[in-house]
Structure 1
């Protein structure tokens, strides 16, 4: 089995995060940057952006998101949401994934034939950047999950971290040590998912 497949197999959702990570933070930062750098993008647009946060700055993400959720989740039902925010904040860091809308607009202007397709292409780039980072972290034994609290906390996060106006938030990835095992992953039947012709 190829190393790529083995690394993809280790990439799993981890909600039980901790701070028992041996890899230094500067090496984690370099790993995340390189994974995003190497992720493919349509027209080599390199539209993906990231904010990499550690420690108290990472905790702030989940405090801000929690505060926004508290405005819309009934108080008597908020305990599970609060527990989830605490589990994300318990890790050592968070990556905020963005797509630069100015880059996408420039592509639309320069390649009008594909103008309507570029927002979709941007989502492809975003997904590949997220998978690249998640897999790179997993290969180093670092747990993570991918969260989507947009647009609920977009403005609060933009204000807190001085995010450029053209960056659009796509996802949040809390990461840290794996403090629990993983359940067996199940897969749907190949016949329902794949078609192969010409063998």
Structure 2
């Protein structure tokens, strides 16, 4: 049995050598992200995922914030130079997507459905993971590379202030994206018998 979906999913890799040589316009990419997130599932159709898509200088601001924040934490100069070089690869891309969870919706659901209260936070994590996977794959289908980064919660306050985001939106990840200047290497997989079980 063949699957076009899995052919496209296999194109989704962590791409760290990013560039700005993207044929799509910012508006086209923004609309792709919007449509993909809207079509991603969430428990109780809660739609807790928020996505902020930044281009140009606004995208660079994200990585300036990351760099400035880590400079205060990474005290060893040689170690910080490595960190700075890594951040530069994200800044070199065409744009950045911030993924956030609307915690107000999560807390309201906890109150409305107390029997399920302990589940709404992990369910929101499942929702944002599904949305990230879907957007990442949709970008890959368009020939756009990306990776998923997690500098939250270190940068949360600065990001909210820089982009005037609601305080109820909790930052969960950052996705730099752009042209693929160097493809990903070979991917290693665990043995199938450690991962899958067929029961008939």
| TM-score band w.r.t. shorter chain | over 0.9
Corresponding residue of 1:162: 164
Corresponding residue of 1:56: 57
Gaps spanning 5+ residues in structure 2: where? none
Q: Specify the SS of the correspondent of 1:78.
A: helix
- Whether 1:20 aligns to 2:18 is no
The one-character-per-residue Cα deviations of 1:145-172 (angstroms, maximum 9, x if unpaired) are 0000011100000000001010000000
Root-mean-square deviation (Å): 0.7
Corresponding residue of 1:102: 104
Corresponding residue of 1:29: 30
Q: Specify the SS of the correspondent of 1:84.
A: helix
User: Structure 1: which 4+ aligned runs deviate by more than 2 Å?
Assistant: none
Q: Specify the SS of the correspondent of 1:183.
A: coil
| Deviation of 1:75 (Å) | 3.9
Question: Which region of structure 1 is more displaced relative to structure 2, 74-83 or 121-130?
Answer: 74-83
Corresponding residue of 1:133: 135
Corresponding residue of 2:48: 47
CA distance in 2, matches of 1:4, 1:158: 36
Q: Which of 183, 186, 190 does residue 184 from structure 1 map onto?
A: 186
What does residue range 53-132 of structure 1 map to in structure 2 within 5 Å?
53-76=54-77, 77-132=79-134
In the alignment of these two chains, the number of paired residues is: 198
TM normalised by structure 1 equals: 0.98
CA distance in 2, matches of 1:181, 1:15: 8
CA distance in 1, matches of 2:82, 2:165: 29
Gaps spanning 5+ residues in structure 1: where? none
| Deviation of 1:179 (Å) | 0.3
- Whether 1:6 aligns to 2:2 is no
